Structure formats: C-alpha cells, structure tokens
Homo-oligomer: A and B are copies of this chain.
Amino acid sequence: MGHIGKQTVVYKTPPVIINAYSSAGPKEQQGPLGEYFDNKLPDELLGQDSWEKAEAHMIQQTVQGLLDRACKLPSDIQYIFAGDLQNQVVASTFGLKDFNIPFFGLYGACSTMGESMSLASMLIAGGMADLVIAGTSSHYCAAEKQFRFPLEYAGQRTVAQHWTVTGSGFVLLSRNGEGPKITAITTGKIVDLGITDTFNMGAAMAPAAVDTILTHLEDTNQKPSDFDAIFTGDLGNWGVAIANELARKSGVNLSPILNDCGKMIFDDKRQETDAGGSGCGCSASVFAGYIYKQMLKHKLKKILLVPTGALMSPGSSQQGNTIPGIAHAVCIEM
C-alpha cells in the first residue's frame, strides 16, 4: 500500500463500486446520454421555492435512490463525502442532513467527484470503513445565478462558455462485493498557468487535467492505450483541444483515448451548449449514469476518470486573481 511514484496510490485490495445512481435535469435528458440517467427530473424546481433548495432536493433523491437500489439503510453507511458549487456547499448540507450519516464536506469545484471517490476509496482500502458513499451535484439555474448572471438577465453566451449541468451522481463503495473496482488514484496539485477568462473554464482546467493524467501514466508506468478510455470531467470542446495539445508537447498522444463528460452529455450544436457541459454534476451524473453501466456490461473494462475543477470564486476573479485548476484521477477496472 502507500504512495507509488509522485502522487499515486495503487490499491492491493481495490474497493468496489457496488452501486451508482444518477439524477439529471430536463435538458440533460434530451442529450445523447438522456436514456441512461436513473432519476429523470421533471423540471428544475422539483416543487421547491428556489433553485438552491431544488439542488438540495435532487441530492436527497439521488442518495435515497442509491440506498434503495443497494438495499441499504443510512445506518449501514459509515461516511458520506459530498460537495457542490453553492457557497458554503449548502446544497450538500441540506440535501444530506436527514440521512444522519457521518459527513465530510468537500470543495473541489467540478473535480469533486474525483476528490470524493479518491477519499472514500482510501478510507476503505486503509481499513477505516466498509461502506462509504461519494458524490456531488450541480444545478444550472443556481450556478448561473451565483457565478455569472441571473437567468432573467438573459446575458449573451460566448463560444467558449460551458452549460452547467443540472445533475447529480453518487456511488456506493464497499470493501467487498461485485462491480467495477477502484484500482488506483492520482491526487491533483493546484495548477495555475495564469488564465483569467471566466468564460473559458476549459482553458483554465486543461493544464491540471494533463498534469494529473501524465503523472498517473508515469507513476504507474502505463501508456494511454492501456486504457479503454480516459474521461476528463468538463473540459469541453476547447479544453479538450488544449489538453490534447499540451499532452502532445510532452510527447504523449492522448487524442485517440481522451473523451470528456462535458462533451458527451450535450449535443452542443443541437442543444446550443457552446463549449459543453460543466459543473460537479457533469462528471458525477455521466459516470454514475452512463460509464458505470458500460462497465457493468463489460463494454468498458479499464478507464481513467479525471474530474476537473476551476478553483475560483466570483470575488476572486473580480479581485484580479487567476483561475487555477485541479484534477483528480480515479482508475476503475471491471
């Protein structure tokens, strides 16, 4: 056990993802992966009186759906890791409080699915727990209001702008059981190449994604073709192009194997989502809804999931700061 290479842990007894559950909003259901989501939300409000409360409600539904599918009670679960994009991660607080599960709140921006799965898997592999839930969420309307403009303002979108996913994904990790296993993780450093354009998050996150992916390959002595696919979180069209270019400059050709949850979840032309999907819920719902099921069907046998986050706030950008990125890689094998 313990550290391999610079930033990687390879598990001798890999934790098992024994179940996964996803929720997705109306627009996400109309995208290419629409049929795969488990909980198809009828609208963005879910009977609540604010977008923020609707996101908490979606989290509650997603975790309950996961527990139901796994035939588990909240009291069976030792820890839950979660976080979201709302200030002070209140969507997670209010979505999870009634489960009474010991709670670790995270903030990793859109890398949170990678962060939560990494920590949950380390606790299980280290013998600290038997059953741990990990997941995250985002909500288009809540995120637009907080990070950009209220929807009512009807601001014009830019070509490199993302469309925050209304969605959530949670997974149940176990020491034993059937399912895809987390065999290794590589925890990201904060990478800052000086990007300041808040309408081009793909450019801000791509350097972190490439840093983590290349470190994982180096630490584990593997090449891209050892994986069926590498899925970044939400680099989008422009971020993926930059990531491929950065990797190429380091002598690694990622392009045949690199896909991105933000590119997969929407049809950017038909759905006018510009750069593609983003938000913590993007990689979370695409993994729990689509990738996990492809692994159960053995259509994907070994993947690297690399959720990517832009570590900024509206205030930090208004004060002239850069937008550092981070990415956490999780190797999953069937």
Q: Which residues of A contact B (CB under 8 A)?
A: 1-3, 7, 9, 49-50, 52-53, 78-79, 83, 85-90, 93-94, 96-97, 100-109, 115, 118-119, 122-123, 125-130, 187-190, 192, 311-316, 319, 321, 324, 326
Contacts and interface: CB of A to CB of B under 8 A. Distances in A.
A128 B188 contact: no
B188 A102 contact: yes
B316 A52 contact: yes
A324 B128 contact: no
A89 to B, nearest CB: 5
Nearest to A78: B3
A316 B94 contact: yes
A107 B129 contact: no
Given A3-B78, A102-B187, 19 more contacts: A1-B128, A2-B128, A7-B102, A86-B315, A88-B109, A88-B312, A90-B312, A90-B315, A93-B312, A93-B316, A94-B316, A96-B190, A97-B311, A97-B324, A100-B189, A102-B189, A103-B187, A104-B106, A107-B107
A97 B315 contact: no
Contact of A103 (B93, B321, B326): B326
Contact of A127 (B1, B96, B100): B1
Contact of A122 (B89, B96, B123, B314): B123
Contacts of A313: 86-88, 90
A51 B276 CA distance: 35
Nearest to A104: B115
Contact of A319 (B50, B101, B122): B50
B311 A90 contact: yes
Contact of A94 (B122, B128, B130, B321): B321
14 contacts: A2-B128, A7-B78, A52-B315, A87-B315, A94-B321, A97-B324, A101-B189, A102-B189, A103-B188, A103-B190, A105-B106, A105-B311, A119-B119, A122-B123
A52 to B, nearest CB: 6
Contacts of A90: 311-313, 315-316, 321
A319 B48 CA distance: 11
A74 to B, nearest CB: 10
